[in-house]
Amino acid sequence: MYKADDRRYENMIYRRAGKTGLKLPLISLGLWHNFGDVTLIDTSRKMIHKAFDLGITHFDLANNYGPPAGSAEINFGRILKEDMKAYRDEMIISTKAGYTMWPGPYGDYGSRKYLISSLDQSLKRMGLDYVDIYYHHRPDPNTPVEETMLALDQVVKQGKALYVGISNYRSEQAEEALKILKELKTPVVMTQPSYSMLNRWIEEDGLLDVTHKHGIGNIVFSPLAQGVLSDKYLNGIPADSRVSSSSQFLNKNNLDSDKLDRVRRLNDIANNRGQSLAQMALSWVLRDDRVTTALIGASKVSQIEDSVKAINHIEFSEKELSEIDSILA
């Protein structure tokens, strides 16, 4: 029987999401790619246990996480029921809907029909009465944003979610959505954008300014740029890497010799800071307190242990920041 580490809150740092009442650990665990049926349930169990023992209270899912789609929620729900039910009130569990989940016109994007039906399915898969945060996963170019936000508002009023958020929204889209949610007095706490040293669009787009104005936080995904900001590619492209397998998210065309050279120079800065490159990449996105938490993925326990060490050194000197900017310019 699993018993959580009594010291789990001693070393983790928790940051408030904007001006809301919700605090999240600086490192959160995402269950996107390694918690479906292709992963042994005992491997998933060990990673979730270790994360919680290290003070990671936030577990991020979506309806289509797996593979196959839905299996990450099923497996997480099983682990929660069998091992961690006693700790439910210490956990922040989130899910999302917005990408294709089932065939036909009602299983994708942002209609009221899809969002409410999808959350009902997610709750059933996880065996939960409610989730802590429910996100719209991506903007819908065809459904009025009012309809989508009213659906998010309704699930809170129904008691199916405590808070809501939006994911993959650009600043202009976020401004419109957040304005509606504020008028409805819906408890919106987060946006979920991609962000890393190699992907700084939220700075250029102004999303951080928009969220700060509205008093909410940001949970950033892909802070390691799909593993590029780790030691995986320092000596070239391994045969078993995601790049070599022609991943739709990362391929050889966007990992050329120039980028690899930049990554090696960033690694030199990390070594001088006493960090691995992955740890520095996490520290870098967390240097700005408008970023509430960094969302990591993991395929083994040691990766979670290594990532959590990043919170011990999130400060950067002006010289370090200048050198990083120069390398990435």
Does residue 197 form part of some domain? yes
Contact 198, 328 (CB under 8 A): yes
Give the Cα separation of 230 and 80 in Å (integer): 31
Residue 249 in contact with residue 242, Cβ under 8 Å?
yes
**Cα–Cα distances in Å, from 67 out to 35, 72, 142, 287?**
8, 7, 28, 33
**Rounded distance between C-alpha atoms, residue 49 and residue 84, angstroms:** 9
**Global pTM?**
0.95
Do the beta carbons of residue 202 and residue 193 sit within 8 Å? yes
Percent of the chain with pLDDT over 90: 91
The helix (run of H) or strand (run of E) holding residue 28 is strand 27-30
- Which residues have C-beta within 8 Å of that of residue 214, sequence separation ≥ 6? 18, 178, 182, 188
Domain annotation covers residue 130: yes
Write the CATH number for 24.
Answer: 3.20.20.100
Q: Is 276 inside a domain boundary?
A: no
270-289 pLDDT, tens digit per residue, is 999 999 999 999 999 999 99
Could you report the per-residue pLDDT of 7-43, keeping only the tens digit for each?
A: 999 999 999 999 999 999 999 999 999 999 999 999 9
Tell me what the pLDDT averaged over the chain comes to: 95
Q: Is residue 60 part of a domain?
A: yes
Instruction: Identify whether 290 is part of a domain.
Output: yes
Domain membership of residue 251 (yes or no) is no
Number of domains in the chain: 1
Single out the residue of 243, 218, 240, 118 nearest to residue 168, CA to CA: 218
Residue 8 lies in a domain: no
Of the candidates 23, 93, 7, 92, which has an alpha carbon nearest to the alpha carbon of residue 55? 7
243 domain residue, yes or no: no
- The stretches in the chain having pLDDT less than 70 are 238-254
Token look-up 């928009």 returns 210
Cα 327 from Cα 329, distance rounded (Å): 6
The dihedrals phi and psi of 180, each to the nearest 5 degrees, come to: -65, -45
Domain boundaries, position 110: 14-224+281-316
